[in-house]
Amino acid sequence: MKLISNTGANRVIDALRQSFQSGASLDIATPFLSLFAFSELRDLLNHATHSRLILPLNPDGDLTLLGSAADRPARNRLHARWLARECANWIREKTELRQSSSLLPQSAYLIRQIETARSRIITGNCPLTTDGLGLAPGNQFSLIQCTETPEEVELFAAWYESLWNAMPASEHAKEKMLAHLQEYSDHHAAAVIYYQVLFQLFKARGDELDEERIVKSATGIKNTVVWKKLFKFQRDGVVGAIEKLERFGGCIIADSVGLGKTFEALAIIKYYELRNDRVLVLAPKRLRDNWTLYKTNDRRNVLSADRLNYDVLNHTDLSRDSGSSGDIDLANVNWGNYDLVVIDESHNFRNKTTHRDRESRYDRLMRRIIREGVKTRVLMLSATPVNNRLADLQPRAWLKNSSTAGWRRMKASAHPAHWWTCWVLTIFSSLTC
């Protein structure tokens, strides 16, 4: 027997390529099967006259078809769907497949050269994965052996035959594997991918979205007019938003037009007011009256009994140091004393700085409200969170110089693509109705 170190030029894939000749058959027993390992052996497998494959296909089994962390560059090439389709074709046309009821303790590759009567067997810790073939770093303590004499081949071939015969022949196993590959090769709607991303990010926190735990009844929020006017799906959105505000310090509600973002935001505002927090609403000037109405003693105010008491300023007021905005004197505003800032039409705040010689309104929002004074939470509202350019996905203006503990924890603990999704998690509360 010859040992294979699975590094350098002494790899399993090198031994397979050297031993295989056109017209040979290839039998495999493996606990795992990676599409990217199959890609490296695809030409060899397609030239084989016939193959037998033993896989653990129990319901709880995980074949790691998309590989491990070492296969990230291969996944980034975005050809896994095509590989799944090619693998399915190989199994359908050239492979007999049998099912193991448990995980195989080791792997085996049996190359049969019928015409030349030369065969070779490779066995050991070498599954059909990139690390098992030696294409990616693997366990340095793995023991992999390759036969060198006909006697050794005969011994291990008998072992494979006994393993194969011990498993009942069933077309169901092959159909099950093909169905599994079909899931990877099918087209999926963009929305399904988006929901899957959210599920993977927050699947461990499903039980934490408990209404009573997040929205404390002792605050009296459930006795308010605005809470009673909310539909069930809107209350779910409010609960989710408050949970994100408390955990991350920021959240965006991006429901479609007509689903009640304003009333959801008013319920969140009332919740924090009941906790004696000070709230600021930033809105475009043309929408200012939409917000000031609900804090006035006006017959048109259906929430007058809630006595909402937040400040309302225009987006453009952030660029001013003096003058009045409604009944507020901008020269005397205590910007750093707001516990919650609600930004309506928040997609306007993704724009780049237009005046490089002086501080923009976005820089001022960051410096004077979020960074200074008390810890400030930010609730953003937008029905049109459309990205016009790649830079829109990078929240430089929000996180560049942030000093609050919540922002720092999020930046330090998450992947760059992860913390942006976490912080601006879109609350599609309509999905729950």
pLDDT in tens, 197-246: 888 877 766 555 566 666 766 678 888 999 999 998 898 889 888 888 88
Per-residue pLDDT band for 432 (boundaries 50, 70, 90) equals very low
**Averaged pLDDT for residues 170-198:** 86
**Averaged pLDDT for residues 172-200:** 86
| Model pLDDT, residue 135 | 92
| Model pLDDT, residue 113 | 79
Name, of 16-20, 169-173, 334-338, the range with top average pLDDT: 16-20
| Model pLDDT, residue 22 | 79
Per-residue pLDDT band for 390 (boundaries 50, 70, 90) equals low
Is 3.40.50 the CATH classification of the domain at 194-432?
Answer: yes
Alpha helices in 275-372 (DSSP H): 288-292, 361-364
Mean pLDDT of the chain: 80
> Nearest Cα to 350, choosing from 317, 318, 320, 382?
382
Give the Cβ contact number of residue 338 at 10 Å.
Answer: 25
> Exposure pattern of 53-87 as b/e (b: 16+ CB <10 Å)?
bbbbbeeebebbbbbeebbeebeeeeebeebbebb
Range in 138-152, 174-188, 303-317, 341-355 with the lowest mean pLDDT: 341-355
| Model pLDDT, residue 353 | 56
**Averaged pLDDT for residues 110-120:** 76
Contact 85, 186 (CB under 8 A): no
| Model pLDDT, residue 411 | 37
> What CATH code is assigned to 2-185?
3.30.870.10
| Model pLDDT, residue 387 | 63
d(C-alpha 321, C-alpha 108), whole Å: 76
The more confident residue out of 295 and 394 is 295
Pick left, alpha or beta for residue 307 (phi over 0 → left; psi -120 to 50 → alpha; otherwise beta): left
Q: Which positions ≥6 away from 419 have C-beta within 8 Å?
A: 410, 411, 413
Percentage above 90 pLDDT, the chain: 28
Which H or E element spans position 3? strand 2-3
Range in 71-85, 117-131, 357-371 with the lowest mean pLDDT: 357-371
The more confident residue out of 153 and 324 is 153
Query: Which tens digits make up the pLDDT trace of 282-302?
Result: 998 888 888 999 988 888 889
| Model pLDDT, residue 357 | 66
Which H or E element spans position 411? helix 405-413
Amino acid at 48: A
Return the sign of the alpha-carbon dihedral for residues 394, 396, 400, 405: negative
Statement: residue 49 has pLDDT above 70: yes
Statement: residue 348 has pLDDT above 90: no
Statement: residue 373 has pLDDT above 60: yes
Return the sign of the alpha-carbon dihedral for residues 338, 344, 350, 354: negative
| Model pLDDT, residue 61 | 52
Range in 55-64, 85-94, 269-278, 357-366 with the lowest mean pLDDT: 55-64
For the chain, what are the domain ranges?
A: 2-185, 194-432
Statement: residue 25 has pLDDT above 60: yes
Statement: residue 396 has pLDDT above 50: no
Give how far the C-alpha of residue 168 lies from the chain's centroid of Cα atoms, to the nearest Å: 39
Statement: residue 424 has pLDDT above 50: no
Per-residue pLDDT band for 35 (boundaries 50, 70, 90) equals very high
Q: Which positions ≥6 away from 200 have C-beta within 8 Å?
A: none
| Model pLDDT, residue 13 | 93
Statement: residue 272 has pLDDT above 60: yes
Burial of 190 per CB tally in 10 Å (0-12, 13-18, 19+): exposed
d(C-alpha 65, C-alpha 184), whole Å: 9
| Model pLDDT, residue 145 | 92
d(C-alpha 264, C-alpha 294), whole Å: 13
Statement: residue 376 has pLDDT above 70: yes
> Nearest Cα to 100, choosing from 183, 182, 26, 30?
30
Range in 79-93, 107-121, 205-219 with the lowest mean pLDDT: 205-219
Range in 57-66, 85-94, 122-131 with the lowest mean pLDDT: 57-66
Range in 41-55, 296-310, 317-331 with the lowest mean pLDDT: 317-331
| Model pLDDT, residue 418 | 35
